[in-house]
Structure 1
Amino acid sequence: MRKLTVPHLNAAPIRPPIPPMGPRSQRHTLDRIAILNNSGHSPGDRTHLTALLADQWRAAGIEVMELSGAGTFVEADLLFLNLSRPVLPEEYRRFAAQYPVSFNAGAGDLRKHLYADGLLRAGSPYKGAVIVKADHDFITPITPPAPRAGFFSLLSGSRRPRASALQTLSANDNYRIYPSLNDVPPEKFGPGHIVQKFLPEADAGRYVLRQYYFLGNAHFLSLLTSGASIIRTSTPQSLEEWSPPEELLDLRAHLSLDYGRIDFVEVDGKPFVISVSRAPALPASAEPGYVPPAYNRLAEALAEALVDSYTTTEKGVF
């Protein structure tokens, strides 16, 4: 990355736009980025991808300030929201409005019922297996307890297991698979949960999860595989530049997501969206501090994309 001279930008989109013909142009450098984390965040924490982005920005000569919650304002050219919560609190929206530019401040509500594919209601005629999830959580699914013998062997030679062979599997209270809609407790159809078709993607007897990472015009695809139907965050089989389908680009625009990750599988050649995160986590590692090299390359591309996006936005100030 390189330090660039850029036009000064006006307020974040949640402020009223500057009237046409009023402002004059002014140039300045992108000197400081503030990263807004959840309250309780410890400076130097390296559990999220933003830690690697910050490394790249600092290497380019840009000062990076880490904020924990919306209690303390610091001057910065750009505010980068890294919040692992689905609904952006009003206090965070007001805080973001103080900055000339913000990333992800427009993504106010990322609850699953607003975007997940294959959602079902009680009484639906759907006959296949289903998965019940908390509507509000950003918790990474963990591997469920070992199922009865022969469950995962059903994947061999088939795209997905037969619903009749599924046992009720629980990763935690936020993710649970049921053989059919009739097995779902009535209270799970109420607010706070979603019921979704369970349509896993599989290849060579292993489950597949696709993860679309993005920032501005930088797009990367990660492939994870596992013998478990609910896949924990782990080292990807591949992570490389990618051209996303229009469905995912449209979803980003609908949710106003500048940066984040969309988890999905392919069903009949189309993306089937599972979850969205505005604060992607780094994969867990048995070796403290270890990050797969592919993530450093990903961070370099995303960090550069933010600078490019900043420099190409033509705005003015009075």
Structure 2
Amino acid sequence: MARIAVITHEYDRFQSRRGILMRRDSPYMLFDLLAELKRRGHSARIHRGLSSRHDADVAVLHVDATVTPADYAEYARGFPFCLNLGATDISKRRISGAVLNQGDDWDGPVIVKSNLNHWGAPEQHLNRQAERAGEATPFPGARIFDQYQVYASPADVPPETFARTDLVVEKFVPEPEPDGFAARFWIFCGDRERCTRYVSPQSVVKGDDTIRRESVPVPEELRVLRQRLGFDYGKFDFVVHEGRAVLLDANKTPGRARNLSKVVAAGTANLADGFESLIRRAV
């Protein structure tokens, strides 16, 4: 049985106690995955912030920020094996297959997004927690950009937008359906995975307004990209445009499924199998 360390930012709260019974809760998918691993006999400990301890067989680098600070990555390297040690930068400018630069050959619709994961909300949260503690903000200058702006063509985008480092301009390539639009979500841990195609009436598919879903295969080019980006565990959001998979978002700290159905439970058990395959590889 393995000892597992979960490395989080010192100002992040991986789990908390809620409700009358003060049960532990968490917004992260890894929380349920760890619960399943504990049922199988493994142990897990949350390491908030940097420490001199490396008393674990396997670690998970679970800093909820677009770019993991260098000192956290260095601390993670002290463990015998650490998941996602290669996935320290998930900015849109690095991972997206749809990013445009001014002057690129594209005259179709475009969408403007934050370069940061989840609009920059994780960085804002960590900054606020640091300020409350009277410490320097870990991500100075990070701002929330929680809107998607769609333009008919790159020519309609204000020129200063292309120059901003906190924003990206992407090709707007939704996957059209007769009754809406589709997006695909690939969740994986080690050699286990699930990939689902969601259809929504909205052109920006977010998963909570879908009208149907189906399991789909994972394109081989995404498997190659996952290896290149250094992901052992996480979630990729993508579409298939003109027969080619286009990665739009990559998340190394995916959120927890609130629907505690048998389907979700089976998916968690499957991912736990993948985690154990990584443990065996580490040992």
Separation of aligned partners in 1, 2:200 and 2:277: 36
Give 1:262 shift. Answer: 0.8
> Superposed, which structure 2 residues align to 1:1-318 within 5 Å?
29-30=1-2, 32-38=3-9, 39-43=11-15, 44-71=24-51, 73=53, 75-139=55-119, 173-190=146-163, 191-234=165-208, 237-238=212-213, 240=215, 243-283=217-257, 290-313=259-282
Asked whether the equivalents of residues 58 and 282 of structure 2 are also in contact (C-alpha less than 8 Å), the reply is no
Q: Deviations over 1:244-282 (max 9, x none)?
A: 222101111111111111100111222111111101113
TM-score (norm 2): 0.79
**Counterpart secondary structure, 1:138:** helix
Asked whether the equivalents of residues 60 and 84 of structure 2 are also in contact (C-alpha less than 8 Å), the reply is yes
User: Which amino acid is 2:113 matched to?
Assistant: K
Higher mean displacement: 254-263 or 224-233: 224-233
Identity over aligned pairs, percent = 26
Separation of aligned partners in 2, 1:36 and 1:233: 28
User: Which amino acid is 1:84 matched to?
Assistant: D
Q: Deviations over 1:135-181 (max 9, x none)?
A: 1223499xxxxxxxxxxxxxxxxxxxxxxxxxxxxx95453211221
Q: How many residues align?
A: 250
Q: Deviations over 1:31-58 (max 9, x none)?
A: x211223332153342111011011101
Separation of aligned partners in 1, 2:14 and 2:234: 21
Separation of aligned partners in 2, 1:136 and 1:129: 21
Asked whether the equivalents of residues 239 and 294 of structure 1 are also in contact (C-alpha less than 8 Å), the reply is no
User: Which amino acid is 2:250 matched to?
Assistant: V
Q: Deviations over 1:291-318 (max 9, x none)?
A: 343222221111111112221446xxxx
TM-score (norm 1): 0.71
Separation of aligned partners in 2, 1:83 and 1:239: 31
Give 1:192 shift. Answer: 2.1
Instruction: Go from structure 1 to structure 2 and tell me whether the alpha carbon gap of 1:262 and 1:78 turns closer, same or farther (over 3 Å shift).
Output: same
RMSD of Structure 2 on Structure 1 (CA): 2.5
Separation of aligned partners in 1, 2:254 and 2:35: 16
Structure 2 alignment gaps of length 5 or more: 16-23, 122-143
